[in-house]
Amino acid sequence: MAGQLKEVRNRIKSVQSTQQITKAMKMVSAAKLRRAQDSITQMRPYAQKLQEMLSNIVSNIEGGATLALAEERAVEKVLLIVVTSDRGLCGGYNANLIKLAKSTVAEKYAAQQKKGNITIWNIGKKGYEGLSKAGFNTDATYKDIYLNLNFEAVQAAAQAAMRSFENKEFDAVEIIYSEFKNAATQVFTAEQFLPIPKVSQSVSKKKSDFIFEPAKEQLIAELMPKILNTQLYKAVLDGNASEHGARMTAMDKASENANELLKSLKISYNRARQAAITTELTEIVSGAAALQG
């Protein structure tokens, strides 16, 4: 009985220690989330408007002109840029992104995968580890971007993808990331990066009246890479905020579960103590009765 009490006491101490860790991690993630949320909230309207403008211009290009980064061709080689996190303990965040990458390949690029023509660039260590283990052709060049997250680091990845597309090393480039909504909600998204997507037919009929200064071709050539850099940076900022939101939610749930477990363990401990006291009293009474007899 004494051994059972000691075991329950040890379990209670262990759960309490774990709960302290989960509460601390929740507080850290909440602080990081505030900064990350501010960054993506300020960035998103700007990036979305630029992307909308770029797609509209590409859709309304005249005279059969072609733009290198908007050239649609038969898809033989595909690049996926998968944005995950460097660390775990954030619920199903990384697992869902890896699952989306796998399903995107299976549903859209199965033929290319059979030929070994799928390449994955990872931003974040967890995606690199998971997809490498799954047998995909992964590239670790940009996986450590989160160690020093800034626009220049993400721009390097975006420019490398653009060069590869222009050199026809890849015929399609997609970004797989988590769009941040709030701390408890992330939308896992596969978004076309290259060729630059055109707006839908219904929207493209409403031709936008842009006035170009200097010449349209010169302006587009200058703006297009910058807008694409911004698009990838927005995806990475979305992923950063999503990670901290997912971790904060996961640690909150873990703390709640620890509370429930502590309640259950304390009830078990009290029952064991009562049983031990009852047993001792019974032995004392029995011993006294034997002496009197």
Tell whether the torsion through CA atoms of 63, 213, 160 and 192 is positive or negative.
negative
> What is the rounded distance in angstroms from the CA atom of residue 212 to the CA atom of residue 119?
37
Q: Is residue 14 part of a domain?
A: no
Please report the pLDDT score of residue 275 as a whole number: 80
Q: Report whether the peptide linkage leading into residue 197 is cis, meaning its omega lies within 30 degrees of zero.
A: no
Please report the pLDDT score of residue 194 as a whole number: 93
CATH number at residue 235: 3.40.1380.10
Q: Is residue 276 part of a domain?
A: no
Whether 293 and 33 have beta carbons less than 8 Å apart is answered as no
pTM: 0.85
Count of domains in the chain?
Answer: 1
Tokens 């502590």 map to which residue? 262
> Which residue numbers in the chain have pLDDT < 70?
1-2, 60-66, 199-210, 212, 215-216, 293
Among 153, 156, 97, which Cα is nearest to 125's? 97
The catalytic residues are 90
> What is the rounded distance in angstroms from the CA atom of residue 105 to the CA atom of residue 101?
6
> Whole domain around residue 109: which residue ranges?
21-251
Please report the pLDDT score of residue 280 as a whole number: 80
Please report the pLDDT score of residue 62 as a whole number: 58
13-33 tens-digit pLDDT: 999 999 999 999 999 999 999
Please report the pLDDT score of residue 203 as a whole number: 47
Q: Is residue 65 part of a domain?
A: yes
DSSP 196: P
Strand 78-83 and strand 172-182: the pairing is parallel
Q: Is residue 281 part of a domain?
A: no
Q: Is residue 279 part of a domain?
A: no
In this structure, the chain runs to a length of 293
Query: Is residue 157 left, alpha or beta, with left meaning phi > 0 and alpha meaning psi from -120 to 50?
Result: alpha
Q: Is residue 9 part of a domain?
A: no
